[in-house]
Amino acid sequence: MNADPKSDNPFNVLFISPTETLKEKALLFLDHHFDGKIDFTYSLTLQEGIEVIENDKKQFDLVIFEHRTTSQSIVKVLTELCSKSAFIMITPDEAVQSSFQFKVTNFEFATLTNFDTSFNKGLKKIFPKASASGNDSDYINLNPDSLLAVAPLFADVFTKLGSGHFMRLFKKGDVFTKSELDYYKNKKGITHFYINKEEYNESIRAQTKKMAELAAQENVPSPEDAKKEVEKSLEIVRDLVSRAGFTAEAQAIAKSSVAVTLKIIGSKPRLATILTDLKKKDGNYITNHSLMLGQIACAMAYKVGWSSPATFFKLSIAAFIHDIALPNSPLAAVDSLANAKASRNFSEQELKLIQMHPIRAAEYTLKFNEIPPDVDQIVAQHHERPDGTGFPRGLGQKQISQLSALFIIAHELIDFSIHHPDVPIETYYEKNAELLNQGNFKKIIQALQLKTE
């Protein structure tokens, strides 16, 4: 966006209407809303306005136009030419508006019969002010990874134009995609996305209730739908933890989510089936990785003979929490500290985050009410290696617990499957047989028999 009420950059507006009184009213409202920092371009007709757009190199932030008929062709041309602009269409009355069903995020209506109220309402929907005092506390900054994991969006999503000023980018119910995230980051320079705090809090309450209801059911009616809800819950928990730590609210969602995950897994999970499903996955790395890790670890435990509900719960909750201290997917995708350093893609601060995230996540588990024994140990050791080359402590095979060893192998199986989707999983066992054929890793590898099933 061009406009920042705290800078000298004007807010570019194109106004298209032959009605002089509408222009004067709109100017008055815009001038007040954007603190006088607007660049106002005026055209009499839609055709003339389209010519201005085609000949003028500036990007209009807002296009306001009067249209008195139900004809849609010229309006479509206008919205396609300004695909990243916001629009307010002025119609004679609300009856005309029902004919227009454009899939444009920032498209609002105003009416000639009630112009002042309807125009202001549309303007404030697209460009809300945080509060009369300019306080930003009504909105919170949300991690883009969280938006990618939540489909459809549970609230309108905004970018910040300046202190107390926001512009809507997506409507509640839209689907936020990776390509759109890349566009706003790389083309528009927008890296921070905001939602209304009350809508955020309401979404947490709604998700907590939904997960508790799913967990209370004897069987999950739709495993795929349930998985999506667990994915959404994981992102909510990650965001809550980043803001306030592992609160009772975050714990409640985590417990319900793990209970639902265990219903999806069942009592006899098949490793080969889960690994096949893993290769079909895309989207947010942390979310998919964490949920699949729980399923793979439980399937391995079943094959080894550790199939008690308590063991499955430990592995699932460890998987849910293990990367919760990391802020984004690139950091979570690191397989070794040595490789991260060698890549030179990470700052010293990021390398420290990578190195210490198992310890930080383990500390979160200790704050978890009624957490089973061993979970903090599994989480703390999930990047260790039997030869002592892992992190954060560089433990050897004699210091790594049984469940941690199983969790480590499951963790590596996921990375292997992601990076080598067309290579049989037996190749991983063969490649690492010597390394893993020791300590608590030995029994697991022998039980897996160097094949999936």
CATH code of the domain covering residue 283: 1.10.3210.10
H/E element, 208: helix 197-216
Name the nearest CA neighbour of 287 among 190, 155, 148, 420.
148
* pLDDT value of residue 272: 76
199 CB-contact burial (10 Å; exposed 0-12 / middle 13-18 / buried 19+): middle
* pLDDT value of residue 43: 94
More confident residue, 260 or 132: 260
If you compute the radius of gyration of the chain from its CA atoms, what whole number of angstroms results? Answer: 27
Give the list of residues 6+ apart from residue 58 with CB closer than 8 angstroms, or none.
Answer: 12, 39
Going by DSSP bridges, is the β-strand pair 193-196/139-142 parallel, antiparallel, or unpaired?
Answer: antiparallel
Same domain, 299 and 425: yes
Structural domain includes residue 231: no
> Taking the model in full, what pTM does it have?
0.74
pLDDT, tens digit, 9 for 90 and up, residues 302-329 = 999 999 999 999 999 999 999 999 988 8
Structural domain includes residue 258: no
**pLDDT class for 57, splitting at 50, 70, 90?**
confident
How large a percentage of the chain has pLDDT more than 70? Answer: 93
Residue 54: is its pLDDT beyond 50?
yes
Which of 83, 98, 126 terminates a domain? The answer is: 126
Same domain, 352 and 443: yes
* pLDDT value of residue 70: 83
DSSP structural state of residue 185: I
Same domain, 186 and 60: no
Range of the domain at 18: 11-126
Cα–Cα distance for residue pair 389/387, rounded to 1 Å: 6
Which of 146, 180, 196 terminates a domain? The answer is: 196
* pLDDT value of residue 8: 54
Tell me the two tokens of residue 124. 């404030």
Q: Phi first, then psi: give them for residue 375, nearest 5 degrees.
A: -65, -45
* pLDDT value of residue 283: 61
Which of 80, 107, 126 terminates a domain? The answer is: 126
Structural domain includes residue 247: no
Supply angle C-alpha 300, 317, 372, rounded to 5. 100
Residue 453: is its pLDDT beyond 50?
no
Structural domain includes residue 99: yes
Cα–Cα distance for residue pair 238/236, rounded to 1 Å: 5
Structural domain includes residue 334: yes
Same domain, 119 and 142: no
Structural domain includes residue 252: no
Q: Which of 78-82, 157-161, 379-383, 391-395 has the lowest mean pLDDT?
A: 157-161
Same domain, 45 and 178: no
Same domain, 339 and 430: yes
Structural domain includes residue 202: no
Q: What three-state secondary structure class fits 100?
A: coil
Same domain, 368 and 429: yes
Supply angle C-alpha 220, 223, 225, rounded to 5. 105
Tell me the two tokens of residue 391. 């992190």
Same domain, 23 and 69: yes
Q: Which ranges of 305-425 does DSSP label H, i.e. alpha helix? A: 309-321, 329-332, 337-343, 348-366, 375-380, 402-419
Residue 187: is its pLDDT beyond 80?
no
The CATH number of whichever domain residue 36 belongs to comes to: 3.40.50.2300
**pLDDT class for 276, splitting at 50, 70, 90?**
confident
pLDDT, tens digit, 9 for 90 and up, residues 339-354 = 999 999 999 999 999 9
Q: Cβ–Cβ contacts within 10 Å for residue 441, how many?
A: 22
* pLDDT value of residue 3: 45
More confident residue, 279 or 318: 318
Structural domain includes residue 175: yes
* pLDDT value of residue 130: 56
Domain count, the chain: 3
Same domain, 289 and 410: yes
Same domain, 82 and 161: no
Residues β-bridged to residue 159? 167
Tell me the two tokens of residue 215. 């967990």
More confident residue, 273 or 297: 297
Cα–Cα distance for residue pair 109/100, rounded to 1 Å: 10
Same domain, 425 and 357: yes
Over residues 97-116, mean pLDDT: 85
Same domain, 291 and 378: yes
